Amino acid sequence: MRELRAEALVIGGGAAGTYAALCLHRQGVAPLVISKGLVGKSGASIFAGNLVISGRVLGNTEENARDTAEFLIKYHNQFLIDQEYAKRCGQWIAEVYYPELEEAGLYLRRDDAGNVVTSPGRLRSVAANVQGNSGVPFMDLRRKQLIRAGIPMLEEVVVTALLQAESGEVCGVLALDIASGEIFCVRAKAVVLATGYADRLHRRSTGTREMSADGIALGWRAGAELVNLEMQWWHTNDVRYPANWQRMQVYPNPMLGSWKSARNVNAKGEVFFDQQEDDPLAFGPYTVQLKRLVKQVREGKARYDGDYYSGFDHVDPAEVDAYTTYAKLFKQLGLDVGRDLVETAVSAHYRQGGLLVDPATMASTVPGLFVAGGVGGHSNGLIALVTYDGKVAADSVAQHVRDRPYASLPPHKAEEEAKRLQGLLKPGATPPVRVKKMIRELMWNDMGVEKNEAGMRRALEGLQEIRAAVLPAMGVTNLTKIMNHGWLDAIDAVNMVEACELMVHSALNRTESRGPFIRTDYPEMDNESWLAQNILVPTADGGFRFEKRPYATPYFQPEFVRKDNLAVQW
Amino acid sequence: MVSLDARRIGQLENRDTLEAKLGALREGDMIKAQVRRFSPGEQPYYETFEVPYQKWMRVLDVLIYISEELDSDLSYRWYCGSKMCGTCALRVNGREILACWAAAEPEMTIEPLRNLPVIRDLTVDRRPYEKRFLELEPWIHRDEPYPGFPEPLTHREMRFTSKALDCISCAACYSACPVVGLGDLTRFCGPAPLVQLGQAALDPRDSRERSQELIEQASIFSCVSCYRCEEVCPASIPIVSKVIEPLKALAYRTARKKPRHPQTFLGIIRRRGRIDPSELVLRVQGLRALARLRWAVSLLIRRKVNPWATVFGRPIPGIASVRRLFRTFLRTS
Amino acid sequence: MKLAYYPGCSAQSTCKELNVSTQLVASKLGLELHEYRSATCTGSREIRAVQPELFLALNTRILAMAERDGLPLMTICNTCTLNFLDVIQMLAEDKEALARVNASLAEEGLRYEGRAVVKHFLWVLLEDIGEERLRGMVKRPLAGLDVGAFYGCHITRPPGHYGFFDSRNNQALEKLNAILGARSIDYSGRTECCGFHTAAHEEAVAIKLVGKHLKNARDNGVAAIVTPCPLCHTVLDAYQPDMERDTQTRLGLPIIHLPQLVGLALGLTPEELQMDKHVVPLDLATRRKVIPIAAA
Ligand SMILES: Cc1cc2nc3c(=O)[nH]c(=O)nc-3n(C[C@H](O)[C@H](O)[C@H](O)COP(=O)(O)OP(=O)(O)OC[C@H]3O[C@@H](n4cnc5c(N)ncnc54)[C@H](O)[C@@H]3O)c2cc1C
Ligand code: SF4
Ligand code: SF4
Ligand code: FES
């Protein structure tokens, strides 16, 4: 088996991973980036539609700045965030992030007079070139920055395991090159896990194709503690058809240069949500919108899988077209959301939870393993936040690797993992892609928007059944090693089962409802018991136990102790 | 009064409109998808799949259906499913499309992109294409220090760059470009690399001298202006008029040694108001044209070329106004 | 019907026969052509690319003449047609540029308001003469003549002007062939590029681009090719010997200008239409199918 070396290994080619690599490079540490998808073309980062302004830049008032912080902590994280971390992020974004991006060439959309175009309102945002597509030039820039810096990138290469020295310290990884089928290992002094959110675990989901909760599975197997895994967010506005629709969204966020935003209409034709009018602070209005939808569903005026509508039928199409891509998204299908309403449904959006990290250092609970971006459980990312994570992780890694020798890779572990992978490249009864589909159906049915204990127990049983009966019989139809997506799907399926089980356990343990986490058997938000980290700690016997650690609330506090979650405004 | 639009004859008959395409399928109809299969070391072949149409189905949904229900082994690349990553470009019935963007059709022959090596089935190796544009250093180079956020910049100045920035680097145009298809016959880098370069070179903040890059490395004057690239671009970028031509203008303006062809052309028009192609060829190719003597003679016999007119031809009437337009509108630096 | 007529440079130099045959056929069709002798080149692709302001000015001047006379402007070259269409659009989008050009045109008493209509001869035939009248005027149906259409690019792309999702679906020439009694043969090159615009400095490109399609046309039984563009004609005809060498096939495909094909059907002789000016001559079999019945 080939063995590569890298002082610091970054897993993931999204906003967090690429920025971590750039920062490491600047500090004289040689990074290697391994990415399951193409760097800058995979992961949630390309989806970033707009870029939120924080602090006092671009004409933001003190009040705007405060509103942004409030949005982030309350609406976007439901108080499950270290507020000091949020504050540091905000400062960095205002002082470093925007200037640095612009200097590197990012085009923040101007008007003909040269003003940076923003969305109006209490929280303001800008766009890279065009709203709806900001992540594309943003990540393209990152890709080119890495190439220009000569940072090596191994793309369409999947990391399947973290390798640990006797001491438990992470000292490398095992990886599979999808195009060639080569299995190899990388020795590294430190590893930054930046694999993004655990997306695509439901029938309908945002996120890119390759997402399968790898980071959570990898971290867990290496003994990392996980936090708030149950905190799943939802997109309320995705086009309904076909059932496997890949995230064609009718953006609900405020538009650049306009006071209007997309609205939702139920089956009876009643408008039930219009962001700028209903709640100007609910900038990325996922939770507020979702709660409104839950009410429609309960009144029989919508379903989670359709029968309600979204669009800009109340807006001048020219206003939608001026700075956004929104109306153009579905043109080839004859759909014009800039003019009409289209039928929409819910998709699973990103997951707030992930590996437990110290947000001051981005260190996980496993030595040698650092975390950046969506895979961490410390915040519900935005592209700016995950970029900041990349910087913090790089700072810590630079410290960590200084004068540290390479630990030797335990040879048998790499061989064992390689064997496991080879074992998945075998003929079998059920194609791996079908297994993934089974998992997604199961999660959709019993781990959907509204949950309860009985359903979640069913989900667990289903997952255990898949683990016991389906996985062993899973097999590919072609034994080639070249671009064998079947093989990759098999690797994914194993990770998905593992991660989904942990999510269900976590969800069962959080006995409250909070924002987008809606339990019918515990409908109240409970700030007394659950304004807290819901931590999964692996135990020596291969099982786990839970720990709970309250969050401090130095700057923003919830206005109540307990309240019906659906009645909570944010 | 004209009921017939002669520019579009064939469009309705061939169901070339969006309405016709979308109206061709109803829920439950069977789509016939002929997919080109290929594995290294084996002969390529076509395999036919029947896929039930679902509402608003795209080509990507057809492929997903095939791999989930019919043949899990089909290799095709995609990441975002929403026209952002640019990795799902394919050819359907001989035309480049984006799988996650184009509506499914009743009968489809689905093939990988051209002008790139195929890894397996529909998955191509993008690296040769990327290599082409990375050589052109498609990022801005600043001579002046960055003035601080936000820097002075207007959308008007960025109007071409902004179009180029819509590029998702899907390489559909790279596959469609006939000159790229000629391989090493020219050094032409192709449309997508020019769009990538345009993202930087047309940005007023870029201070790098690009004429050498454009003329030599990219061989921009090898573009035949066929608009194949524009026809297939899923991002609707006016590639020729808003990127390649502004780049040609930039190359021409900044080159110390002006490319001969456009310069000669301008000279002839200024003198005569009208072009004489034989003069153009003679002046551009010089002695090289005379080397093709047999050809020249055959044209002479048929009076295709007229050396008399070439040498003594008179300017058009009204040449004075033409020269005035030259004085007013010719940009010299 | 009276039309402003813009022959363009090729039809007045390398393809004089195109100008001659257009005028002949137009008078047969009852079209009165008003030619602008002081019109310049439209800038082809060269001025257009490297001197966009000048390009705009030169073309606005011509459009202003047609607008002044209240006549649709008829073109017989793809590239000229597209240049005019683009300029019309650019001026509509950029009022400041229009004002600048008008300020200069004022010196020769011209002013453009944005009302010019540009029509390629092909469109005039189909829209203004119309299928029925044209069919009625056919004296010598081109029965038995297997024609391959070569559209070239600028009469069918970019999609912004013509609206084709797939420009291969254009059928205008096939429709015309049918009216004239000829049979249209499908082959790979119908809407491909002739490579003219780089031929002055890289003729090998044009030879490679087109040779394979002409070979395919020959293989599919095409006897003659019709094209609405003199630039395509120049490449397909004058470089055909090179293509024969390059593809190592005998092609011998006569390339016919659009008005020449119409003229044949209207009963004009190949000589009247100056088809002897072409590099590739009409072969005997084809000639028999196209010369006026009386003469045959
Ligand atoms: C639909 C959507 C819309 C959004 N809109 C906005 C917005 O408008 N504004 C905003 O600020 N934020 C937005 N976000 C959030 C933002 O995009 C994310 O917070 C951020 O992109 C996360 O970045 P990341 O680098 O952590 O992960 P990602 O960008 O997801 O990158 C993860 C990378 O890891 C790789 N990877 C995964 N598993 C492995 C493995 N096993 N081995 C190797 N590599 C692996 C992947 O291929 C990918 O390259 C949106 C997110 C989504 C999903
Ligand atoms: S216009 Fe130029 S770049 Fe575009 S396809 Fe034609 S030759 Fe290629
Ligand atoms: S220019 Fe258009 S077709 Fe070409 S790579 Fe970019 S998006 Fe794709
Ligand atoms: S899958 Fe990303 S562009 Fe089609």
Separation of CA B179 and ligand 2 centre (Å): 7
Residue of the CA atom closest to atom 3 of ligand 2: B191
Identify the three-state secondary structure at position A132: coil
Write the CA distances from A230 to A447, A449, A518, A562, integer angstroms: 10, 11, 10, 19
* Distance from C-alpha of C289 to C-alpha of B252, rounded to nearest angstrom: 50
* A424 lies in some domain: yes
State the greatest distance between any 2 C-alpha atoms of chain A, in Å, as a whole number.
67
Nearest Cα residue to A48 out of A2, A101, A4, A95: A101
Which chains share 3+ C-beta pairs under 8 angstroms with C? B
Residue C153 with chain B: CB contacts under 8 Å: 225-228
Phi and psi based region of residue A43 (left: phi greater than 0; alpha: psi -120 to 50; beta: remaining): left
Residue C295, pLDDT score: 63
Q: Say if A153 is an interface residue toward chain B (CB within 8 Å).
A: no
Sign of the Cα pseudo-torsion (A275, A278, A283, A285, in order): negative
Residue of the CA atom closest to atom 5 of ligand 1: A48
Q: CATH number of the domain at A253, please.
A: 3.90.700
Instruction: Point out the ligand nearest to the CA of residue B180.
Output: 2
Residue B302, pLDDT score: 72
* Distance from C-alpha of B276 to C-alpha of B265, rounded to nearest angstrom: 9
- Amino acid identity, residue B25? L
One fold for B17-124 and B127-254: no
Smallest Cβ–Cβ distance between A107 and the set B100, B161, B169 belongs to: B161
Separation of CA A178 and ligand 1 centre (Å): 20
Nearest Cα residue to C114 out of C93, C145, C135, C136: C93
**Cβ-based contacts under 8 A for chains A and B:** 177
Separation of CA B87 and ligand 3 centre (Å): 11
Closest atom of ligand 3 relative to the B98 alpha carbon: 8
Model pTM score: 0.97
Where do runs of H (alpha helix) occur along chain B?
18-23, 59-65, 127-134, 159-165, 172-176, 191-201, 211-212, 228-232, 245-254, 260-272, 277-285, 287-291, 293-301, 307-312, 319-329
* A276 lies in some domain: yes
Measured between CA atoms, the residue of chain C closest to residue B321 is C108
Q: What is the ipTM of this complex?
A: 0.96
Mutation probe of ligand 2 site: the residue of B113, B174, B177 with most atoms within 8 A of C-beta:
B177
* Distance from C-alpha of A229 to C-alpha of A535, rounded to nearest angstrom: 8
Written as one string, the DSSP assignment of A499-553 is: HHHHHHHHHHH--S-BTTBEESSS-EEETTT-SEEEEEEE-TTS-EEEEEEEPP-
State the greatest distance between any 2 C-alpha atoms of chain C, in Å, as a whole number.
60
Q: Say if B18 is an interface residue toward chain A (CB within 8 Å).
A: yes
Mutation probe of ligand 1 site: the residue of A41, A347, A383, A392 with most atoms within 8 A of C-beta:
A383
Which tokens sit at B330?
Answer: 């010719």
The count of C-alpha atoms lying within 13 angstroms of the C-alpha of B60, restricted to the half-sphere facing its C-beta, is 29
Q: Which CATH class is domain B127-254?
A: mainly alpha
- Amino acid identity, residue C94? D
**What are phi and psi for residue B110, nearest 5 degrees?**
-110, 125
Q: Say if A180 is an interface residue toward chain B (CB within 8 Å).
A: no
* A510 lies in some domain: yes
Sign of the Cα pseudo-torsion (B244, B250, B253, B259, in order): negative
- Amino acid identity, residue A479? L
Chosen domain end from A327, A350, A373 = A350
- Amino acid identity, residue A214? D
What are the beta bridge partners of residue A158?
Answer: A176
Identify the three-state secondary structure at position A108: strand
Domain that holds residue A424: 412-532
Which tokens sit at A68?
Answer: 């942004």
A289 C-beta closer than 6 A to ligand 1: no
CB A141 within 8 A of CB A104: yes
B275 C-beta closer than 6 A to ligand 4: no
- Amino acid identity, residue A286? Y
* Distance from C-alpha of B286 to C-alpha of B290, rounded to nearest angstrom: 7
- Sketch the domain layout of chain B as residue ranges: 17-124, 127-254, 260-332
What is the third-level CATH fold of B17-124? Ubiquitin-like (UB roll) (3.10.20)
Instruction: Point out the ligand nearest to the CA of residue B85.
Output: 4
Residue B311, pLDDT score: 66
State the greatest distance between any 2 C-alpha atoms of chain B, in Å, as a whole number.
74
The owner of tokens 């090719």 is: C225
Write the CA distances from B24 to A489, B72, B103, integer angstroms: 34, 27, 11
Residue C162 with chain B: CB contacts under 8 Å: 7-8
Which tokens sit at A361?
Answer: 């250092």
- Cβ–Cβ below 8 Å for B82 and A242: no
Instruction: Point out the ligand nearest to the CA of residue C154.
Output: 2
* A485 lies in some domain: yes
* A92 lies in some domain: no
Separation of CA B244 and ligand 3 centre (Å): 13
**What are phi and psi for residue A405, nearest 5 degrees?**
-75, 165
Nearest Cα residue to B25 out of A307, A334, A342, A247: A334
* A333 lies in some domain: yes
Selected for mutation to probe chain B from C13, C44, C168 (highest B CB count within 10 Å) is: C13
Written as one string, the DSSP assignment of A320-369 is: HHHHBSGGGTTGGGT--TTTSEEEEEEEEEEES-EE--BTTTTB-SSTTE
CB C87 within 8 A of CB C56: yes
Closest atom of ligand 2 relative to the B190 alpha carbon: 3
* A151 lies in some domain: no
Chosen domain end from A307, A326, A350 = A350
Q: Angle at which helices A135-149 and A15-26 pack, to 10 degrees?
A: 30
* Distance from C-alpha of B222 to C-alpha of B185, rounded to nearest angstrom: 10
Residue B142 with chain A: CB contacts under 8 Å: 103
Phi and psi based region of residue A44 (left: phi greater than 0; alpha: psi -120 to 50; beta: remaining): alpha
Q: CATH number of the domain at A447, please.
A: 1.20.58.100
Residue B14: count of CB within 10 angstroms of its CB:
16
* A69 lies in some domain: no
Residue B1, pLDDT score: 46
B191 C-beta closer than 6 A to ligand 2: yes
pLDDT tens track for A517-534: 999 999 999 999 999 999
State how many domains chain A has.
Answer: 2
Task: Give the residue ranges of chain A where pLDDT is below 50.
Answer: none
- Amino acid identity, residue B81? G
Closest atom of ligand 2 relative to the C193 alpha carbon: 6
pLDDT above 90 as % of chain C: 95
CB contacts under 8 A, B 87-106 vs A, are: 87, 100-103
Nearest Cα residue to A61 out of A101, A118, A134: A118
Chosen domain end from A332, A350, A368 = A350
Write the CA distances from C100 to A496, C211, C253, integer angstroms: 64, 45, 48
Q: Which residues contact B121 (CB under 8 A, 6 or more apart)?
A: A483, B35, B36, B37, B38, B39, B74, B75, B76, B112
Closest atom of ligand 4 relative to the A41 alpha carbon: 2
CB C156 within 8 A of CB B185: no
- Cβ–Cβ below 8 Å for B84 and A136: yes
Tens digit of each residue's pLDDT, chain B (333 residues):
457 899 999 999 999 988 898 899 999 899 999 999 999 999 999 999 999 999 989 999 999 999 999 999 999 999 999 999 999 999 999 999 999 999 999 999 999 999 999 999 999 999 999 999 999 999 999 999 999 999 999 999 999 999 999 999 999 999 999 999 999 999 999 999 999 999 999 999 999 999 999 999 999 999 999 999 999 999 999 999 999 999 999 999 999 988 888 888 999 999 999 987 777 777 777 767 666 766 776 777 777 777 767 666 788 998 999 999 999 999 886
CB C188 within 8 A of CB C222: no
Q: Which residues contact C132 (CB under 8 A, 6 or more apart)?
A: none
